[in-house]
Chains A and B, each alone.
Chain A
Amino acid sequence: MNNKTWILTRAMLKNGGGLGLNLKSKWSWVLLLLILFVSLPIMLYGYVEITAFFYNSLAAIGQEGVLLSWGLVISAMMVFVFGVFHVVSNFYFANDIENYLPMPVRPRQIVGAKFLQILLYEYIAVGFSFLPMLVYFGVRQGVSALYYLYGLAVLIFLPILPLALASLLVMLIMRMVNLTRYRELLRIIGGSLAVFLALGFSFVMQRFNELTPEELGELLQSGSNSLALMETKLFPTVRWAVQALLRYEIAAGLTNLLVFIGLSVLVFAALLLISELVYIKGVIGISESGSRRHKIREGEFGRLVKRRTALTACLSNEIKLLVRTPIYFINCVLPGFIWPVFFTVSFIFASDRSSTVMLERLSGALNDPNTMGKALGIILALVAFLGGANGIAATAISREGQQLYIKRYIPVSYRKQLAAKLLSGVVIGYTSVILVLVVLTAVLKAPLYFAGIVLILSFLPLLLTSMGGLLFDLINPKLEWDSEQKAVKQNVNVFFSILFSVVIAIAVIAVSFAFDLSLAWALVVLPALLLAGCAGFYYLLSTYGVSTFKNLEG
């Protein structure tokens, strides 16, 4: 760590950094604050309820310390998995890298600065995932101020190890990928591979972590909080953090804390050292793109020239951009594939009895007329979530960045251009739906007509969440950026879009369960509900949305 690393970090943060909250109109503020004040308390309430439930159950067997281990391990896990996405985007595909390469800075300084930049965002995530739990535990235990001080230190150093692991994994893969002739293609695949490996790794570790009933019994016998350390195999340094927090009153707590901090710093230093060896060779030539120079013969023009409507042309343009821009592909398209595949695979390969039973139950529910209506509700809710979480519509305007002006001089109505953006979200969303359908029919043995229903009705939740996302992005677009990842990763609209889709998902599930919908009723009520939502947002988009888009002078 030295001066140049700081200078780089500051430069990176300044260049279109921030989360993109640059609200100009008063109404945008009102709307955004409303969303925050309605959905955040609900989420926090749910969070505290769940934490309380686990705390009470664990405290009953004298193991409430496990709660802290879980919180820490889950947070570390999250930092690791999301860190892989972040690192691929920031270290390799960020456009600003090419500005730093010719500067007299060392690889470790670039990597260090990029690392710190990601770290800042990880703190927000960890703040959400661990802070409430830390405080809840403290309040219930009636701890002293020292606990909170230690807690703060743990919070600060917690993301370093998992993020460093993620960085190492990605750097090694990218180094290897860049060796080959088919770099351009492989780089995207390499990025995807890193994500898959990270998920696979966490999955394996999770299995590895499972205890036999005998082991569990023994541990339980051995008294207070003995289980807490069992949960930390995955990220060994978490063990010291847990010890520090549980034994903060005695000297051992401090020793553990210092070991934890020391190890995190050491891992970070190791990362910097290794980056000197592998980073530059992995990143060099990252923006080169293949050029084949095939002469087109006269006769070939006929085949290459096509004709589409303006809407189709704009839509196909949007989709090409999403699929071909590595950052967009990794952050907006890939997750929609990965999560369904990942959950299915872990289900299928989990050989223990409980998951087999679970599978049979799910399959039963999908074939039982009494539960099919509710199952449909859950699936549509899932689709709504997948649609909102990809952030495609929620960054559709932001992604234009400084090129927004093109949209203003081409002779295509703003309404059509917005429609193309909406549909791009729906189309990519359908790739997840297809995967969900495969799981439904092949793994869960749902009847084909049910799959057909899901296929058709999925259009509605996808459209609704896209409409919501697009509206957020119109209200508050992030147009000032110098590298694509700032448009899609560090964009608060994605967060709003996720909140919005969670609300839709909860509403759909709540209605299906509250009225105990049969399949026939579900086919009436759920589409009606979603259509009503779409109609409302259609009205908002075609009035407020179109006029906002018209007035955006990028």
Chain B
Amino acid sequence: MITLENVSKTYPGGVKAVDNVSLTVPSGEIFGFLGPNGAGKTTAIKMITGILRPDSGEIKVNGIDIAKNPLEAKKQIGFVPDDPNMFLRLKGIEYLNFMADIYDVPLDEQKGRISDLCRRFEMADVLRDPIQSYSHGMRQKIIIMGVLLHNPSVWILDEPMTGLDPRSSFLLKNMMREHVESGRTLFFSTHVLDVAEKICDRIAIINRGRILFTGTIDEMREHLSKNASLESMFLELTDDE
């Protein structure tokens, strides 16, 4: 479970990227965070994961306050950033080992999980190559594998579908579903209405740092049909992926 209470963040330049946001992401449901580019999704996620500190407000992950007990809170989370260009100088297997080491994955589980993830993501062939030699989609896959390795109870993904081929995004959807079915938490952002409609159980819509709506998919459809301007904002976005 993730809770945000009256969270705000203004960047040094003066942009109020997140404006008094309160949000509860329950476990057991796929929770989508929908908003156009520049809405404040990444900023909010960065605060939940401990990358940025909010100017005001409180954030708890599984009841643990990220400001007061950062290490414990961070251990709950598996985070997939929007930019998969990281750890490029490491080989795939080295990155996976690194993640297992810092998230304290027991060695006997580590082996089985790596081989299982490799099989599912079809990455066994390239595990001994540097991540630098991977394509964009492969980089995304290896980052996701590293995150799933420690079986996080809260899984957070920033724009995960961008750049994945249909097969991989289908696979990812299944894994997201599996994750929540075991009673854990999943929070992901997207700027595409279509993606949100197809995957999510529950949705929050954000624009210019403010939450405009929270509810189930059906409630959202109803809400959008009443707010023509809001709907058109997203309809423009459905095609660009």
Contact = CB atoms under 8 A, between A and B. Distances in A.
A41 interface: no
A409 B101 contact: no
B132 A296 contact: no
A411 B74 CA distance: 5
Given A294-B125, A411-B74, A553 B89 contact: no
Given A309-B101, A403-B86, A293 B46 contact: no
B129 A305 contact: no
B118 interface: yes
A289 B132 contact: yes
A294 B128 contact: yes
A321 interface: yes
Contacts of B100: 305, 307
Contact of A409 (B77, B107, B114, B115): B77
Contacts of B90: 317, 320
Given A409-B50, A409-B77, A313 B129 contact: no
A420 B228 CA distance: 54
A104 interface: no
A403 B87 CA distance: 9
A408 interface: yes
A313 B101 contact: yes
Interface string A293-305: 1111010011011
B97 to A, nearest CB: 5
B103 interface: yes
A313 B114 contact: no
A contact face: mostly helix, strand, loop, or mixed: loop
Given A295-B124, A298-B115, A320-B89, A409 B51 contact: yes
B74 A410 contact: yes
B19 interface: no
A290 B100 CA distance: 25
Nearest to A290: B133
B52 to A, nearest CB: 6
Contacts, number: 100
B170 interface: no
B71 A304 contact: no
Interface string A385-409: 0000000000000000001011011
A325 B89 contact: yes
A321 B124 CA distance: 23
B111 interface: yes
B130 A289 contact: yes
A289 B101 CA distance: 26
A412 interface: yes
A308 interface: yes
A293 B124 CA distance: 9
Contacts of A288: 133
A180 B126 CA distance: 24
| Range class of the A interface residue count | 35 or more
A410 B77 CA distance: 9
Contacts of A296: 93, 118, 124-125, 127-128
A405 B114 contact: no
B208 to A, nearest CB: 21
B51 A293 contact: no
Contact of A305 (B52, B104, B111, B128): B111
B115 A292 contact: no
B65 interface: no
| Range class of the B interface residue count | 35 or more
B187 interface: no
Contact of B101 (A310, A320, A321, A408): A310
B102 interface: yes
Contact of A408 (B50, B124, B125): B50
A295 B92 CA distance: 13
B99 to A, nearest CB: 8
B94 interface: yes
B52 A553 contact: yes
Given A290-B133, A405-B51, A553-B52, A310 B102 contact: yes
A317 B104 CA distance: 16
B111 A302 contact: yes
B155 interface: no
A106 B138 CA distance: 34
Contacts of A212: none
B49 interface: yes
Interface string B64-79: 0000000110110101
B110 interface: yes
Contacts of B115: 298, 301
Nearest to B104: A310
A324 interface: yes
Nearest to B133: A291
B133 A289 contact: yes
A360 to B, nearest CB: 46
B51 A307 contact: no
Contacts of A308: 97, 101
A309 B49 CA distance: 22
B98 A291 contact: no
Interface string A21-34: 00000000000000
A292 to B, nearest CB: 6
B49 A409 contact: yes
B131 to A, nearest CB: 9
B133 to A, nearest CB: 4
A221 interface: no
A292 B102 contact: no
A292 B93 CA distance: 14
A313 to B, nearest CB: 4
Interface in A299-357: 301-302, 304-310, 312-314, 317, 320-321, 324-325
A320 B91 CA distance: 10
Given A294-B125, A411-B75, A304 B102 contact: no
Contacts of B89: 320-321, 324-325
A308 B104 CA distance: 9
Given A313-B98, A313-B101, 20 more contacts: A289-B129, A292-B128, A293-B125, A295-B124, A296-B128, A301-B111, A304-B114, A305-B111, A306-B97, A308-B97, A313-B97, A320-B89, A324-B130, A409-B74, A409-B77, A410-B74, A411-B75, A411-B102, A413-B71, A553-B53
13 contacts: A287-B132, A289-B132, A290-B133, A292-B128, A301-B111, A313-B97, A313-B101, A405-B46, A411-B71, A411-B72, A411-B75, A411-B103, A553-B53
